[in-house]
């Protein structure tokens, strides 16, 4: 069994990966797009890992399970973030 150095790069959908060149920083829409893209990427990777595991291409079940758990946690975070945004929008509409 081969043990590789773990890759602990955190993929937090809420943290901006790069700044714009204008110097203002990221605006809300760009941050939201990055979060959605990051979540989508992790979900696709977990689906590919599950398909590879079921077809026998990837014999390591641990990597597949880790990829699926990363996707699950990120997707749950995205859903809760979406729910909070909708709650905030509804609250602003009630204030009118």
Model pLDDT for residues 8-58, shown as the tens digit of each residue: 555 555 555 555 455 566 788 898 899 999 999 999 999 999 999 999 887
Kindly report the pTM of this predicted structure.
0.67
Reported as a single tens digit per residue, the pLDDT across 48-87 is 999 999 998 877 899 999 999 999 999 999 999 999 999 9
Answer for the pair 78, 39: CB distance below 8 angstroms, yes or no. Answer: yes
DSSP letter, residue 15: S
Res 20: pLDDT: 47
**Residue 40 burial by Cβ neighbours in a 10 Å radius (0-12, 13-18, 19+):** middle
Q: What is the Cα–Cα distance from 56 to 45, expressed in whole angstroms?
A: 16
Answer for the pair 39, 79: CB distance below 8 angstroms, yes or no. Answer: no
Q: Which residues of 24-37 are buried (b: 16+ CB within 10 A; e: fewer)?
A: eeeeeeebbebbee
């Amino acid at each position: 069994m081969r043990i590789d150095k773990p890759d602990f790069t955190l993929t937090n959908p809420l943290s901006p990966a790069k700044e714009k060149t204008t110097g203002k920083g990221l605006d809300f829409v760009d941050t939201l797009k990055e979060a959605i893209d990051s979540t989508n990427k992790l979900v696709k990777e977990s689906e590919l890992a599950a398909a590879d595991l079921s077809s026998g291409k990837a014999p390591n079940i641990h990597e597949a399970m880790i990829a699926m758990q990363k996707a699950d946690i990120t997707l749950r975070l995205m859903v809760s973030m979406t729910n909070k945004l909708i709650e905030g929008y509804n609250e602003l509409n009630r204030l009118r």
